[in-house]
Amino acid sequence: MSVHVIYGSDGGTTRGIAQRLASRLQGRAIDITKASVADLESPALLILGCPTYGFGDLQSDWEDRLSLLKEAQLSGKRVALFGTGDQMTYPDTFVDAMGILYDIVVDRGAQVVGFTDTKGYDHTGSAAQRDGRFVGLALDEDQQPTLTDQRLTAWIDQIR
Ligand SMILES: Cc1cc2nc3c(=O)[nH]c(=O)nc-3n(C[C@H](O)[C@H](O)[C@H](O)COP(=O)(O)O)c2cc1C
C-alpha cells in the first residue's frame, strides 16, 4: 500500500513524527511546502499532519498551501490525520488544526480513518473532536512525550 505523510512543521516535532510514520509504513514523508496535488491524490493512504499554532490555528505552511488541499480530488480516498499540540498550555484549543484539516478533506469527499479515544488526555476543548472522539491521532510531545511511541504503534495497527 502506498503511503504519503504530508506535514507542516515550525519546530521539527511534526516533521519527526511524519518521518517515523513514513518509515514504519514504508511510505514517504513530504513537507507541505514541497508537495504537489499529485502527492495528495496518488497514494492509497494519505496521512496529513499539522501542529496547532496561535490559539487553534493551522501551522503557517499549511495555511499558505491550503489551496493545494482544496484543489485535490479526494473523493473516496482513505485519509488519516494526526495533530501535534500542547494540552497543558493550550487546553481549550488542543490540536485544533487537525479539526480544520478534517473539515476540508471531508468536504472534498475523503473517507477519514483513524479516529481515536480522548481518554488519557487532559484538555478542556478541541476543535478536532467529533462525537467525543478525536478525528485522528493527537500527540503531545510537549507534555506527554513518553506516550507517543505507544500511541503511534496502536494507531498504525488501526489504520493499516
Ligand atoms: C505560539 C504557539 C502557539 C501554540 N498554540 C497551540 C494551540 O493553540 N493548541 C495546541 O494544541 N498547541 C499549541 N502549540 C503547541 C505546538 O502545536 C506544539 O509544540 C507542536 O508540537 C509544535 O510542532 P512543530 O515543532 O512541528 O512546529 C503552540 C505553540 C506555540 C509556540
Whether ligand 1 lies within 6 angstroms of the CB of 85 is answered as yes
Q: Calculate the average pLDDT of the chain.
A: 98
CB 30 within 8 A of CB 39: yes
Distance 143 CA to ligand 1 centre (A): 11
Q: What pLDDT is attached to residue 18? A: 99
Give 86 Cα–ligand 1 centroid separation in angstroms: 6
**Ligand 1 pocket, 31 CB below 6 A?**
no
Give tens-digit pLDDT for 10-32: 999 999 999 999 999 999 999 99
Which domains, from first to last, does the chain contain?
3-159 (3.40.50.360)
| Tens digit of each residue's pLDDT (9 = 90 or more) over 31-51 | 999 999 999 999 999 999 999
Taking the CB of residue 106, how many other CB atoms lie within 10 A of it? 15
Q: Is the pLDDT of residue 1 over 90?
A: no
Between helices 148-159 and 13-24, what is the axis angle to 10°? 50
> 128-154: per-residue pLDDT in tens?
999 999 999 999 999 999 999 999 999
Provide the percentage of residues in the chain whose pLDDT is more than 70: 100
Q: Is the CB of 56 under 6 A from ligand 1?
A: yes
Quote the DSSP letter at residue 48. Answer: E
